[in-house]
């Protein structure tokens, strides 16, 4: 799933493309996406695919497409102080972005 957005050359370009396609609509979600480089969640030899709007899986590591994560982040209407439980969180990419929004009152638990 994914492929709805043009590939970027880096994290900022990917996010610009997600904004242009209206997947990222809020400043809060945009800041979380910009703070975390998607390539950091890839194995070194696969990082050339990090900025494509595609899901990636290698063994038990999994990243959904960026457009999916942005839709989830926008739909959750996250605010500082809320709780968040992510079951089967793959690499932790989504949980990390959510944690940035939840802030110092972090209630993020990975199972």
| Residues known to be catalytic | 64
Q: CA 75 → CA 21, 28, 56, distances in Å?
A: 16, 12, 22
Give the orientation angle of helix 27-35 with respect to helix 11-20, to 10 degrees: 160
């Amino acid at each position: 799933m994914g492929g709805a957005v043009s590939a970027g050359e880096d994290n900022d370009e990917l996010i610009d493309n997600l904004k242009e396609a209206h997947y990222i609509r809020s400043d809060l979600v945009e800041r979380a996406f910009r703070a975390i480089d998607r390539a950091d969640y890839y194995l070194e030899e696969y990082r050339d695919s990090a900025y494509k709007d595609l899901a990636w899986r290698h063994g038990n590591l999994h990243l959904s497409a960026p457009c999916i994560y942005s839709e989830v982040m926008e739909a959750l209407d996250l605010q500082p102080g809320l709780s968040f439980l992510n079951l089967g969180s793959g690499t932790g990419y989504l949980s990390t972005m959510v944690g940035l929004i939840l802030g110092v009152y972090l209630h993020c638990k990975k199972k």
